[in-house]
Structure 1
Amino acid sequence: MTNKPIYVERIISTDMDTLWYYTQTPDVHQQWDLRFTEIEYLPKHKESDLQRFLYRTNIGFGVSIAGEGETSGVQEKDGSRTSVLRFASDQWISLIREGAGFWKYVPMTQGVRFFTRYDYRTRFGVIGKLLDLLLFRPLMGWATAWSFDALRLWIEKGIHPRISLLRSLTDLVCTLVLCMIWIYQGVFPKILYPETGELAILQGTLLFQGYESLALITMGILEVIFGLLFLIMGLNRRKIMYIWNIGLLILLGMSGVLQPELYVAPFNPVTLNFGMIALSVVGLLSLPDLPRASNCLRRPNRSRMEEEA
């Protein structure tokens, strides 16, 4: 079983020296790269071009994975640069045993084409390879791509990666909470337990007379679908979902005029809708200039490779 190497590419509007500084200075590198918590260069031998380094990654609950590696940089005749590295970890909890890869910097009219390709060997035999294939490698690829785009925003627009991370987490929380609320409201009060009040509310509107149960189930299914759309839609369409959510909640709130007593009931729709609208507004405010892994190229451009060859 052989897994494909990880490849990520992004064009960054900057000059070569600036990008080299942001990616080759340890205390700067660790600020934008999700894969590392700390990077430390070791004293360099004068007779060697290799730079040895230590790295550490916190994985939560006070546990961290540490390793070491070595890197060297080369400047090509065409003005491009290459940074080659090898890395390894002796910790038994580290899925990665050892690996190698490179960073390539190619000057272009619109900036610098910055791309990486790396691969590694895993521990734990077949189980480790399966875990890598199904979970770890996709996560590493996503983290690399997200980090490259966060680096771009830092260099091009001055948005620090820490701010980008907080805004991404804000969008994630808003998305997950809204998804959960819509699915919960669709499944439990409408589909599974309509007798707890939802059916009586619908009957009180005098709509769908004789078909209230069917209408309620249909509404529940539509709410579940709408909730799932928050997870299915990518960031490019997240703005549309937030706007639709606000519009639907306003319409649902206005429909309460058919039963004004709902406005003063405990846990009434007004407070729920207001909270969900507020989450949508917060989500909308977090969207501009949000780092996206999808902004990066995840496979080599064959036509460009043929031109360079």
Structure 2
Amino acid sequence: MGAELAGRRQRKPVYVEICIRASMDRVWMLSQDPALHPRWDLRFSRIVPVAGDGQDPVHFQYEFRLPFHTIRGTGTSLGHRSRDDGQATSVLKFDTSDVLSPIGAGSGYWRYIPSEDGLRFVTGYNYRPGMGPVGEALDARVFRPVLGWATALSFDRLRLWAESHVDPRDSRNRWILDAAGRAAALLGSGHVLLKVLSGKGSGRTTILAAGLLVSAFLPPHKTVPRASRCRRQPLDSRAARVPSAVDGLPSPSAAARQRA
């Protein structure tokens, strides 16, 4: 990633890509507007721009609300839409002093790549684990996979919003109902199968158990977001290449000193 992460090659960056059948203008608006971004992105509860004019880096503050605590941090970002090939990029650096944040200082990028099928929306980011030794121990096995899943699910929520105007709150509720239904089907099938194995069931009971089990693994409705719709490995090396603008972007602390 950026220069501050160059010595940490052993940490695999998070990479997520999805194809969105919508215009560049719409996807750019939904992803770059700080009021709209947190509506679909599970990684943020609130984003507040502090300074920036669209040409210079934008300094912002972000929040992630937990049940009993709100993680707060700062960041800088800069977007570019002037490439001759129609592509666009956005780069950012972020940091937090919150000891409960599993993510410390990091950097990343978004790429908007026009294609025959629509728009390839790509992100790659890396970070230094937070939470001290606990974060270091849990990052590769717990925090990083969860962040990758949350990013992918968020990208599919953005896709549904951009393509079909499905509000992110509605897609979230549909995901919760779908997950609850599948969990209930699995529990129900397990309960019925125990009856069958104990000799208390009948042929109909076996059919019921099989039906419940099958229903738990049916493909979701097209309006239910799924992390599995995203690509987690790059199609080409260029998509995964970190833009050079990341290195030139000031860190949040440096941006704060400049403003002071």
Where on the TM-score scale, by shorter chain, does this alignment land: which range?
Answer: 0.7 to 0.9
1:136 partnered with 2:143 = yes
Residue identity opposite 1:98 in structure 2: A
CA contact (8 A) 2:122 2:239 kept: no
Cα distance between partner residues in 1 of 2:214 and 2:139: 28
The partner residue of 2:102 within 95, 102, 117 is: 95
Partner of 1:162: 169
1:30 partnered with 2:38 = yes
CA contact (8 A) 2:100 2:131 kept: no
CA drift of 1:134 comes to 1.4
Cα distance between partner residues in 2 of 1:179 and 1:230: 9
1:295 partnered with 2:225 = no
SS at match of 1:162: helix
Which range moves more in the overlay, 294-303 or 134-143?
Answer: 294-303
Residue identity opposite 1:163 in structure 2: D
Structure 1 residue ranges without an equivalent (≥5): 208-215, 240-285
Q: How many residues align?
A: 230
The partner residue of 1:51 within 49, 58, 71 is: 58
CA drift of 1:79 comes to 2.1
Cα distance between partner residues in 1 of 2:189 and 2:32: 46
Partner of 1:73: 79
The partner residue of 2:115 within 100, 108, 111 is: 108
> Greater relative contact order (Cα 8 A, min sep 6): structure 1 or 2?
2
Cα distance between partner residues in 2 of 1:117 and 1:303: 12
Provide closer, same or farther for how the CA distance between residues 174 and 23 of structure 1 changes in structure 2, counting only shifts above 3 A.
same
Cα distance between partner residues in 2 of 1:175 and 1:298: 24
User: What are the residue-to-residue correspondences of 1:190-269 with 2, within 5 Å?
Assistant: 191=197, 194=198, 199=200, 223=209, 233=217, 238-239=218-219
CA contact (8 A) 2:178 2:224 kept: no
1:21 partnered with 2:29 = yes
Provide closer, same or farther for how the CA distance between residues 177 and 51 of structure 1 changes in structure 2, counting only shifts above 3 A.
same
Cα distance between partner residues in 2 of 1:105 and 1:45: 21
Q: Percent identity?
A: 36
SS at match of 1:27: coil
Residue-by-residue CA offset, 1:143-201 (whole Å, 9 max, x unaligned): 111111111111111111111110110011111112112213333x455xx5xxx64xx
CA drift of 1:7 comes to 0.5
CA drift of 1:21 comes to 0.8
Cα distance between partner residues in 2 of 1:228 and 1:126: 41
Cα distance between partner residues in 2 of 1:294 and 1:160: 20
Which range moves more in the overlay, 94-103 or 108-117?
Answer: 108-117
Cα distance between partner residues in 2 of 1:229 and 1:299: 30
Which range moves more in the overlay, 140-149 or 127-136?
Answer: 127-136
Structure 2 residue ranges without an equivalent (≥5): 1-7, 241-260
Cα distance between partner residues in 2 of 1:10 and 1:23: 13
SS at match of 2:119: strand
What is the TM-score normalised by the length of structure 1?
Answer: 0.66
SS at match of 1:106: strand
Larger Rg: 1
Cα distance between partner residues in 1 of 2:22 and 2:239: 22
CA drift of 1:67 comes to 0.7
Residue identity opposite 2:79 in structure 1: G
Residue identity opposite 2:47 in structure 1: I
Partner of 2:254: none
Which range moves more in the overlay, 168-177 or 7-16?
Answer: 7-16
Residue-by-residue CA offset, 1:229-281 (whole Å, 9 max, x unaligned): 666x4xxxx15xxxxxxxxxxxxxxxxxxxxxxxxxxxxxxxxxxxxxxxxxx
What is the TM-score normalised by the length of structure 2?
Answer: 0.78
Coordinate RMSD, CA, aligned? 3.0
Cα distance between partner residues in 2 of 1:106 and 1:186: 49
CA drift of 1:11 comes to 1.7
Provide closer, same or farther for how the CA distance between residues 292 and 31 of structure 1 changes in structure 2, counting only shifts above 3 A.
same
Partner of 2:247: none
CA drift of 1:81 comes to 1.2
Partner of 1:257: none
